[in-house]
């Protein structure tokens, strides 16, 4: 399989010049967490913008200052194994497919998993690729605190536990960002200047008004925004079956249970890519 078999031709994109608000509206309209950025009126790729970029730069309003510039690109003939390798090594989720300076399509991790792994009939179990070190929070944890935990753990999702320590839900960075609000805060600073003359002294004071945009999150419990009907998978499920389950349910990660039904980890779509890379080096 090659990029041409996987890519989305009717891809969505943002344009520069553009603003944060315009990108947020596109995210909401298309139900995505990232977009390629092109020069207005062309298909020339200039960058990639994701929800994570938006969260890292809450005070920026111009898309050109928020996006990640000079993205990695591939051709229509790039093999699926090479695509997986690039995504894993560069820690990226979006690969524009380019011919010359024109973008022809877009390959995402979901494309590789849903269109590729589901058809390769990989019988190996997901067990070697399960993330065993996962981050969980209590269901009464405030959303603003959960965001800090998410950022410190450098993860994109949190498993949510109830008072009994049982799995109650899952929450992603997209869920949290959807509840965020960018507010404008103003502060003042006194500027003093003093001059001296032969016969007189004077002092003048002026006030500098400083405004900045700050990302605000509510202090309500994380249970109010978490996904409650969590879809899980057994650690002995095959790679292709796991990929198909993600495709059918339109999800990119699932908590993993052992044979006794106990929570043991998390499997993400990006983890499944590792099977292609290991297969390539075998």
One domain for residues 164 and 274 = yes
The per-residue pLDDT for 190 is: 53
Which residue range is the domain that position 231 belongs to? 127-178+218-281
**pLDDT over threshold 70, residue 187:** no
Kindly report the backbone phi and psi dihedral angles of residue 277, in degrees, each rounded to the nearest multiple of 5, phi listed first.
-70, -40
| Claim: this prediction has a pTM higher than 0.75 | yes
Given 119, 135, 161, the domain boundary residue is 119
One domain for residues 163 and 250 = yes
The per-residue pLDDT for 33 is: 86
The per-residue pLDDT for 279 is: 61
The CA-based dihedral angle spanning residues 59, 148, 254, 47, taken in that order and rounded to the nearest 10 degrees:
20
Give me the chain's average pLDDT, please. Answer: 87
- Between CA 126 and CA 267 the distance in angstroms is 8
One domain for residues 204 and 173 = no
One domain for residues 109 and 62 = yes
Q: Would you place residue 211 in the very low, low, confident or very high pLDDT band (cuts 50, 70, 90)?
A: very low
Higher pLDDT, 76 or 200: 76
Tokens of 220: 């309500």
One domain for residues 16 and 151 = no
**pLDDT over threshold 80, residue 55:** no
**pLDDT over threshold 60, residue 229:** yes
Higher pLDDT, 203 or 154: 154
Three-state secondary structure along the chain? CEHHHHCECCCCCEEECCEHHHHHHHHHHHCCCEEEEEECCCCCEEEEEEHHHHHHCCCCCEHHHHCEECCCCECCCCEHHHHHHHHHHHCCCEEEEEECCEEEEEEEHHHHHHHHHHHCCCCCECHHHCECCCCEEECCCEHHHHHHHHHHHCCCEEEEECCCCCEEEEEEHHHHHCCCEEEEEEEEEEEEEEEECCCCEEEEEEEEEEEEEEEECCCCEHHHCCECCCCCEECCCEHHHHHHHHHHHCCCEEEEECCCCCEEEEEEHHHHHHHHHHHHHC
| Number of domains present in the structure of the chain | 3
One domain for residues 112 and 230 = no
- pLDDT above 70 covers a percentage of the chain that reads 86
Strands 167-172, 157-161: pairing kind = antiparallel
The per-residue pLDDT for 171 is: 94
The per-residue pLDDT for 173 is: 82
One domain for residues 35 and 88 = yes
One domain for residues 169 and 64 = no
Q: Would you place residue 266 in the very low, low, confident or very high pLDDT band (cuts 50, 70, 90)?
A: very high
One domain for residues 62 and 189 = no
Given 76, 91, 119, the domain boundary residue is 119
- Here the CATH number for the domain that contains residue 264 is 3.10.580.10
- Taking only the tens place, the pLDDT of each residue in 93-107 is 999 999 988 999 999
**pLDDT over threshold 70, residue 241:** yes
One domain for residues 206 and 111 = no
Given 70, 86, 119, the domain boundary residue is 119
One domain for residues 167 and 149 = yes
One domain for residues 277 and 153 = yes
Q: Would you place residue 204 in the very low, low, confident or very high pLDDT band (cuts 50, 70, 90)?
A: very low
């Amino acid at each position: 399989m090659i990029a041409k078999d996987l890519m989305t031709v009717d891809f969505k994109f943002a344009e520069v010049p553009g603003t944060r608000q315009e990108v947020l509206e596109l995210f909401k309209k298309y139900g995505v967490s990232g977009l390629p950025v092109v020069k207005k009126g062309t298909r020339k790729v200039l960058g990639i913008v994701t929800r994570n970029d938006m969260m890292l730069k809450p005070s920026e309003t111009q898309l050109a200052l928020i996006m990640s510039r000079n993205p990695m690109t591939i051709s229509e003939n790039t093999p699926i194994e090479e695509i997986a390798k690039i995504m894993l090594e560069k820690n990226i989720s979006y690969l524009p497919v380019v011919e010359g300076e024109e973008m022809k399509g877009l390959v995402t991790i979901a494309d590789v998993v849903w269109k590729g792994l589901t058809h390769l009939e990989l019988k190996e179990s997901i067990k070697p690729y399960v993330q065993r070190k996962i981050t969980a929070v209590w269901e009464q944890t405030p959303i603003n605190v959960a965001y800090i935990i998410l950022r410190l753990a450098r993860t994109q999702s949190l498993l949510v536990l109830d008072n009994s320590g049982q799995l109650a839900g899952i929450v992603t960075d997209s869920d949290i960002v959807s509840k965020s609000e960018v507010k404008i805060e103003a502060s003042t600073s006194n500027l003093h200047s003093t001059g001296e003359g032969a016969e007189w002294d004077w002092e003048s004071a002026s006030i500098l008004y400083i405004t900045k945009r700050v990302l605000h999150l509510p202090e309500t419990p994380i249970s109010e925004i978490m996904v409650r009907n969590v879809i899980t998978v057994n650690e002995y499920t095959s790679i292709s079956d796991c990929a198909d389950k993600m495709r059918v349910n339109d999800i990119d990660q699932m908590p993993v249970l052992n044979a006794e039904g106990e929570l043991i980890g998390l499997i993400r779509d990006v983890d499944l890519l590792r099977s292609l890379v290991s297969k390539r080096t075998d």
